Chain A
Amino acid sequence: MFDDHLKVITVIKEAGEVVGRKKLQKMIYIAKKLNFPFQEKYEFHFYGPYSEELTLRVEELCNLGYLLEKKEKVSGYSQYRYSLNEEGEGFLASYGTSIPKLGECIRTMNEQSSRFLELVSTILFFYHLPVEEVTDKIHTLKAKQKYTKEEIQEGYQFISQLEGCIMQ
């Protein structure tokens, strides 16, 4: 009954702490695209793949008292920090199941900036297209982010690195 909730808790546990709602959204999208068993439905929003369902799931977990959400002001806007509390740890220990290889991927993603993860998730959204077309899409749809060709290349390398983690 709580399988999907437990998977989100596992992500937070593996990351230790996730700073930013956008970062958490993108981390789970990338994990889902790498075939980890996340069920949340994503759509392309103006700022990349986004899941309303995940937003609701995180809110439920906060309401149920398993996740800690700390709001802080950073240069004029609100930022949220997510971590697991004791109840969450206990819930996970009692009912969670291990997801092989997920931990390493999550920690690798968590080391990256939210801007970079937005780029990686956008690349994955258009992964079925040739690289040139993906680059055009990023430059058109994310013009304001001003991603360089080098960053896009790094994004592709990062995806290969994550795929490598899973293959090991």
Chain B
Amino acid sequence: MQNFFVKLLFVTTLFIGNGAFAQDHESEPTDKKTEVKAYIQHHLKDSHDFNLFSSTDESGEVQHYGFPLPVILWDGGLKVFSSSKFHHGETLAEVDGNTYKLYHSKIYRTDEEGTINYDEEQHPANPKPLDFSITKSVVMIFITGLLMLWLFSSLAKSYAKNGLIAKGAGRFFEPIVLYIRDDIARSNIGETKYKKYMPYLLTIFFFIFFLNIFGLTPLGVNVTGNIAVTVALALITFLLTNFTGTKDYWKHLFDPLGNTMPWYAKIPLYIILVPIELLGLIIKPFSLLIRLYANMQAGHIVLMSLIGLMFIFKSWLGSSLSFGLAFAISLIEILVALLQAYIFTMLSALYFGFASETHDHADGHEGEIQHL
């Protein structure tokens, strides 16, 4: 409860501050609705500085509270500078004779005046240098990694100290570890092969779960709702699946019907079947990455919109109603945070299970049904 109010307070300050920010730099939105929309759009994107909150002082000057992060660009050579050079997008950064502009959370190379040229579809046509900056999301990934390392290595140590009994926070996480082992890995991959996938499944579950939960804190980082992150995660699942695939798995892929019919009967069927199987290979991780991305993105949009409604209604009835709704959605989002981590892990385990299956082709058809 308390956490929620703290969060609300933070988000409220964020809103006021960024409303002013939007007024300064976006195309002068006049009503609150556009402000809220702009703020949400800004929040969903990654950012080059860690902004905790901003406020407008009496003279109308926007004050940002937070810290700048390093910008790393590859633009005909490595260019490293602090994101404070952009002044939250207010100024251009001049590095080694090149001028860069932060525009909608992306860095473009511009001329000295910082003009952005648009193409026919109103997208900026300026050249984009390769951006390896340590962004807010990268910082959060790093923090989550450190947290996990500390948490689980201390759990591991506590076993040695306490005679194989977990102590402290480990008591909360140990049942989850056991659940992943028994009900996700063992039941989907099988008793003989689950062990080699365990580190990955455990890491991915807690990584997604922690980042989802961080997304609900006042820090308000949307890491797992970022397509680049989910692509990276799903890609590892995809690579692991196919690199650990057994002979049966590949045989099943290119010869799904097995010895059930003569080869000349298979040819016309396989013209359709094999491409479908190969497509399935790509669709599986693709569904993983889109599911996680869309769920987290949608959760953030809904939650922030409801909080935004409070400021749009400005009446005690409407505002308290949307407050109640936002509260309810927050609770659901906590559930979704856990659920999405579970689904990602569960489906990864399921794909690993397919890849590591070894069966004689007598029961090949049951496998076929499972694949669909």
Same assembly = no
